[in-house]
């Protein structure tokens, strides 16, 4: 290689060096330059990971605080069993109406739906009430305060026919804890019992071809017959005998 390089002319050496430099620049521009931003990207990912870890550790450090807060909120709420939720909803409305002096004219059908978070069951009902202003305000306020779990979603007011009281269409809503779905125990499928094999009908074994015939086989089955019947017995020699059975008794 050194001898080949020494045999080149100065112009040829310049061309070879220039070609090598050009190839080196092209390869760097093709393979190296696109990865100049990799280090910056890695540093950014490392910084985000450190921030996330610090944030999680700060929240984990406040676990005891959150536990106390959850216990305090649970003690303030009213726990209602799943089987009594609908009854509790209706009885609370009736009791508050009786306490405040609001007359319930009619009640609609209770509607239930699952909240988007799938943890609570929402009951709603439309009622038509008639009362004075202060009584209606007390009724709605008492429903939304305390541990009633009931709130007003819609309200429509208009005077009654006598123009002495207010008539209102009130849509009341309450949220209760949803009953967890019980997992059905998977019962393994039992294999079907094998069918009993049907015994094959036994056929009387006769003499095979070429075998001597015994006296029992030659005589054939024993003749049977009822009274008054004539039986014909064929002997092996070809002669036939008629046997008359006993005649039936005449009455």
pLDDT tens digits, 137-171: 999 888 877 666 788 888 998 888 888 888 999 99
d(CA 170, CA 129): 8
pLDDT tens by residue, 12-43: 888 888 888 999 989 888 888 888 888 888 99
CA distances from 74 to 21, 25, 115, 240, 249 (A): 76, 71, 20, 111, 105
- In terms of average pLDDT, the best of 118-127, 176-185, 202-211, 231-240 is 118-127
Q: What whole-number percentage of the chain has pLDDT above 90?
A: 12
pTM of the model: 0.41
Q: Which residues pair with 171 in a beta bridge?
A: 126, 154
Q: Band of the pLDDT at 88, cuts 50, 70, 90?
A: confident
Q: What is the phi/psi pair of residue 125, to 5°?
A: -155, 140
Token pair in block for residue 228: 């008054």
Token pair in block for residue 148: 């009633």
d(CA 138, CA 92): 14
Average pLDDT over residues 87-101: 87
Identify the residue whose tokens are 């071809």. 209
**Left (φ > 0), alpha (ψ -120 to 50) or beta: where does 147 sit?**
alpha
Q: What residue spans of 62-100 are helical by DSSP H? A: 63-76, 85-100
Token pair in block for residue 67: 């536990």
SS3 content of the chain, % helix, strand, coil (to 5): 40, 20, 35
pLDDT at 52 over 90: yes
Identify the residue whose tokens are 């305000």. 137
């Amino acid at each position: 290689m050194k001898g080949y390089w020494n045999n080149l002319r100065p112009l040829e050496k310049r061309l070879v060096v220039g070609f090598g430099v050009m190839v080196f620049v092209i390869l760097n521009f093709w393979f190296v330059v696109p990865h100049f931003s990799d280090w910056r990207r890695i540093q950014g990912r490392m910084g985000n990971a450190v921030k996330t870890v610090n944030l999680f550790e700060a929240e984990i450090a406040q676990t005891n605080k959150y536990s106390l807060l959850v216990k305090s909120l649970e003690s303030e709420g009213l726990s209602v069993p799943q089987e009594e939720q609908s009854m509790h909803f209706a009885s609370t409305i009736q009791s508050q109406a009786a306490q405040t002096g609001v007359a319930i004219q009619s009640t609609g059908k209770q509607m239930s739906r699952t909240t988007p978070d799938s943890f609570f069951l929402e009951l709603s009902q439309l009622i038509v009430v008639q009362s004075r202003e202060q009584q209606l305000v007390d009724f709605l306020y008492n429903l939304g305060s305390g541990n009633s779990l009931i709130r007003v979603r819609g309200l429509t007011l208009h005077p009654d026919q006598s123009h002495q009281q207010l008539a209102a269409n009130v849509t009341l809503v309450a949220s209760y804890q949803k009953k967890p779905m019980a997992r059905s125990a998977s019962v393994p499928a039992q294999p079907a019992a094998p069918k009993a094999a049907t015994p094959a009908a036994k056929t009387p074994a006769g003499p095979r071809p070429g075998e001597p015939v015994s006296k029992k086989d030659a005589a054939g089955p024993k003749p049977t017959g009822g009274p008054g019947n004539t039986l014909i017995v064929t002997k092996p020699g070809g002669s036939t005998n008629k046997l008359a059975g006993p005649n039936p008794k005449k009455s």
